[in-house]
Chain A
Amino acid sequence: GAGVSQSPSNKVTEKGKDVELRCDPISGHTALYWYRQSLGQGLEFLIYFQGNSAPDKSGLPSDRFSAERTGGSVSTLTIQRTQQEDSAVYLCASSSRAGSIKDEQFFGPGTRLTVL
């Protein structure tokens, strides 16, 4: 079946604008994760969804960042009033069971965000 997909693949925006990043997880996967990879750094955890709820938002760097998930499937990560330090690759992953590290997280191709 299809893997995790993300759109857009690249996004260039101006400082202060809002952006939306989309993730389509593998069909049937209940857990969904967002990570961010800034230049020269490892991936950092942003938020985790179990179904449509987000029990762990601890990684969101500021209140400009929010995410939602609808229908237990598609997720959108929104960044308001983007700043240059938001420039990064945003990765989405899904796994079959919610909250279990025993299940492999499958990653999407990422969205490269550039804030000018």
Chain B
Amino acid sequence: AQSVSQHNHHVILSEAASLELGCNYSYGGTVNLFWYVQYPGQHLQLLLKYFSGDPLVKGIKGFEAEFIKSKFSFNLRKPSVQWSDTAEYFCAVTSFNDYKLSFGAGTTVTVRA
């Protein structure tokens, strides 16, 4: 079974700062990778996903993530955050063709205006 590690429990930053959230997984085979976001009071929703191809994936709201296979990592980035990016962010992984998502513990991001 896979395990997913998110390095930061809580990140606090100011508007216009750059954001990078770390995610590492433990699985030696082919993986599918996801970032989900949960805004305050809202449902968990998909931010971006990677199945194959270009390891730099662009998602909604200016987010992107880079898959580095050699490092078993899928870090999430945004060059300039906004107050509305305040949310909890979850990294998730499945092995190839599996539907069961394995989630990290989540990172709470607080953006100060």
A92 to chain B, nearest CB (A): 10
Question: CA–CA, A105 to B100, complex, Å?
Answer: 10
Contacting residues, chain B, for A56 (C-beta < 8 A): 100
Size category, A interface: 20 to 34
B51 near A48 (CB under 8 angstroms)? no
**Size class of the B contact interface (CB-based, 8 Å):** 20 to 34
A99 in contact with B43 (CB, 8 Å):
no
The answer to whether B99 touches A40 (Cβ under 8 A) is no
Count contacts between A and B, CB distance < 8 Å.
Answer: 54
Q: Which residues of A contact B110 (CB under 8 A)?
A: none
Residues of B within 8 A of A43 (CB): 90, 92, 101, 103
- Inter-chain contacts of A91 with B (CB < 8 A): 44
Q: Which of B63-95 contact A (CB under 8 A)?
A: 90, 92, 94
Q: Which residues of A contact B99 (CB under 8 A)?
A: 31, 33, 48, 95, 99-101
Given known pairs A56-B100, A59-B100, A107-B43, the reply for A101 and B105 (CB within 8 Å) is no
Closest chain B residue to A98, Cβ basis = B99
Contact of A41 with B by CB under 8 A: yes
**Contact (A104, B46) CB under 8 Å given A40-B105, A42-B103, A99-B99:** yes
